[in-house]
Every structure is written in C-alpha cells, then in structure tokens.
Structure 1
Amino acid sequence: MSAPGSATELRSGKGANDENFPVASHLIHPKNRGAILAFYDFVRAGDDVADHAELSPERKLALLDGLADALTGAGPSDPEAEPLKRELAARGLPPRHALELLDAFRMDARKTRYADWDELIHYCRYSAMPVGRYVLDVHGEDPARVWAASDAICAALQIVNHLQDCGKDFRALDRVYLPQDTLDRHGATVAMLGADKASPQLRAVVRELAERTLGLLDDGKVLPDLIDDLRLSLEIAAIHRLAVILARGLLDRDPLSEKVHHGKVGFALTALGGIAATLARRPFRGRIVRAAPHGKVFP
C-alpha cells in the first residue's frame, strides 16, 4: 500500500462534537465560531497525522511540514489549511498558534515518554496553551491580562485528557504522558498501563498528577472574570468547572477500568453551575480584575 499523499486521507472522522471539552459551543458569538472551528479543523488534521498508528515518524513529519507550508503560503495549497488561512487573513492574525500546535504534533511523532512534570508542561505549552491563546486573540482580549490564566487552564485540560486516556495511549500508540519520575516515586511501571485495572501504585501516580492539575485549575480560575466578552467568559467558566470535576474524579477513579468523563446531562449541569457563578460575580468584575495576580506566561 502506498503512503497517503495528504493529511486529508488520514482524517479519523473525529470532529468538534467528539471532544471531551466543548469546542466553540453556542455560547460563543456566531461571528467568532467560524474562526474557532476553522482552527479546530486544521489542528484536528494535524493531530490525526500524529496519532496514525501505521505511519513512520518521518512520514508524519513530512505531512505536518506540508500543513505548515500550506498555512503560511510557503508551499502548495492544502484543503485542510485553506479555511483557517482565510480566517487569519480576514482578521489580520498571524499563524503562530496553529504552527505551535504542529510543533506539538512533531513532538508526538518523535517522542513517547516524559521525564518529569516540567517536561510535560513544556509539551502542553505547544499542545494546549496555543488553543486558548488563539481563542482569546479571536475575541480581541488583552494577552497581558488573560494569557497566563488561560495557559494554566489549557495545560490542565490537556493533562486531564492524558490521565483519562493513559491506558488507550499506551496500548494504541506506545505513548506515555505520565512522567517517569512520578511513576518511579510510587513504584509504578509503564507496563502497568496495559492492564485491565490500575494497580495501587499506578492509582497513586494518577492521584498525584490529578492533584497537581487541580493546582493549575486553581491558578486559572480567575480567567472568566478577566475576559471582556461575556459569552466567551461563560464558555470558559463552563469548561473550567467541568475540568475541576473531572480532575477531582481522577483522585478516586481508575482510568483503566472506570469511565471518568460525564455524560451530556452531567456536563450540562456542571456547565450551568460554572455559568451561574460567573454571572453572579460579573457586577464585581472591575474589582476582581484589579485584584487579579499576574501569572507566568510561557514564552
């Protein structure tokens, strides 16, 4: 069988509605949803390349380079890149955030293990943080005010997904995002990810990482109050509340044998709680913004 000639041929069929967290829900103003969905579709194409089990690392890198060149105009046009290219041009936005996501997928093509938490956060800097930054930029929010809190939330969302999918990632792709030093600290091994049920040692690893993830979510909890656009503020509040519930669930649940993610009804109720809390604080937003600490923005 010949190697696929384009990213389009490798599409998994997974879409925005299949993600663990909302992507441009109807809380987002229609004028901005198209730009966010175009970004998602481009990134999805790259992710499908990186996650393809039968492609060599070299072929993945070549296809990812092709997507980057199509987006920047350095290479031939690609149908996966054109919608986002048009949106960026219409808004006068650079391709930086999308290109950084492609850098994360290049990491996935080359790298399957992480030594420690800092190395994992470095991966999140490229695999997750650009998503939040792009959405904020589309809405015209002030990066100096909102990027740091957004980075913390986006990293947390990424790690929640890693923890939920740790068994599947290992079995399907031999990819392990659980840091090696955390595994060692609890006497766990990578091989334990292939079991039907997590060992006590592996459960301890997941619990420690879930606690650290809750710390990230605490760092980012002020973000909805820092955002000017009310609809985006409510979207992020809903996502943040869902992430907190899922991270807390990982303190006690076994991701190898138990379902961690909530169904649609559970998500809706959780999201409504986040929205209601944010609306209740909105009259005091000015005071909250003035008191908000400045967090670390990753370069």
Structure 2
Amino acid sequence: MDGKGKVTVRCKDLCKTFYAKNRKQDEVNEVIRNLNLEVKENEFLVLFGPGQCGKTTILNLLAGLVDATGGEIEVNGKKVDGPSCDRGMVYQTTALFPWMSVMKNVSFGPRMQGVKKEEWKKRAQYYIDLVGLTGFEDSYPVKLSGGMQQRVGIARAYCNNPDVIFMDEPFGHLDAQTRYLMEEEIEKICSKEKRTVVFVTNNVEEAIYLADRIVVLTEMPASVKKEYIIGLPRPRDYTSEAFLALREEITQCVEGNVAEEEVQG
C-alpha cells in the first residue's frame, strides 16, 4: 500500500476493559489500550501478535459485536455503534446454519434484507462459483469437509456485499495441507473481488503470504507495536530468501527483540 488511499476503517484511542466480580473482589481485565489504527480501501491488513493478546476482541469491536470502553471506531466515516451489513465476518469456526443448504447459507444476508429471489440466487451463485463450490449448492454443512465449510462462510460474508470483511483465524482449525490451499484460494478471491479485509492469524507465514500490511500488536493490553508493509510480489513463495528473512524479523518482533518502528518488507 502507498498510504494514500481512502481510509475505510479508523480506530482512535480504542480501549476495551472487561469487568467481572468474584467472591473476594472485582476483577479488571484491560485487553486493549489506546489502539490507533487505519485500514485503507481494498487493503488486506493482518493483525498479528502474541497469543491471547486481544486480536479477536479488536475484530469484535470493529464489527460492532461488542462495545468499546473508550475511543472511537469509524467505518467509511460513520461511527460504529453495532453490527451492520456493511461489515462481514468470517469466524474461527464455520458458524454455518446446519439446517440450511450451501445456497441458503450463502444467501442468508440478502434474503434477510428482503432482496428479491432472482437477485439473491444470482448473487449467491456467483460467490459459490467463486469459492469453488459449484455443484454443492444443495449440500448441507455436515456433508462438507472443513475446508469446504469455510469456503461457504467466506462466500456468505461476500454475498452480503460488505465494504469490509473481518476474518478471525478462519483457517486455524484446518490441517496444514488444507490451510495452504485455503490461503491460495483467499488470495485469488481477494484479487478478483476487491474488499477491505482485516485478518487475524497466529501463523507468521500465513500473515506474510496474505498481507499488504501486517500490524504487530503488543502483549495485552494490546496496542500497535510495529507495522510491516509487505512489498513481496504475488503469488508469494514461502521458501524465498526475502520471505524467510521477513518471517525471522517478524518473529523476533513478536518476541520483543525488535524496536518499535515501521519498516518496508
């Protein structure tokens, strides 16, 4: 990214604290502290950092699924104060409706918005074809592999025609081979269907393979530690010298061995 594009998502001084009570005292869990972040139009941004540092909480805040304790979130200049069809979500688990076919799962959003049947079927079929599930329109999730189920989830998110899509470790539960295939697939989808994507992963290779930019987060409470603009040509080679060097650099950053500054990858 050149840094000059339209800003789709903006966070300013974002904070999130969870409060809980036990028998002895109130518990305070500060998850996010003064997070400032901008995501440009059609950018593929990856949030990366230590395990349990608050990455999923950030996505839930951006999607409007939970309320912030402090700060502001805007999508296309509008304050986020709850879920909206302009934001799509792909979860860690497939979260499909087991009683619905692939076609009905993918078309769920447009159908709930009252889109006419001819239109929602056409739109759903386009995305079913795009994710490589042609011929499985009438199949139910139980009959699909894990990778195929996640393809349905991705198609469902796109079918709602959102401005931004949030993906929360969507391939984390897949076996290694299927995961590599899905990474290649999501790159192809994103190159054809341009959207702003905010993607969470705990896998450094996955982050480098997919991202235009990687934001490394601090230990909880999460804030921005460092940013990497990934300038490697696509499709990316996991075994190239540049890829491996960047993997080592980012790994050291997460482990706390690199100072906070923005670099070009």
Identify whether the pair has TM-score above 0.5, normalized to the shorter chain. Answer: no
**What TM-score do the two structures reach when normalised by structure 2?**
0.29
Which structure has more relative contact order (CA 8 Å, sep 6+)? It is: 2
Structure with the higher fraction of residues in strand conformation: 2
Structure with the higher fraction of residues in helix conformation: 1
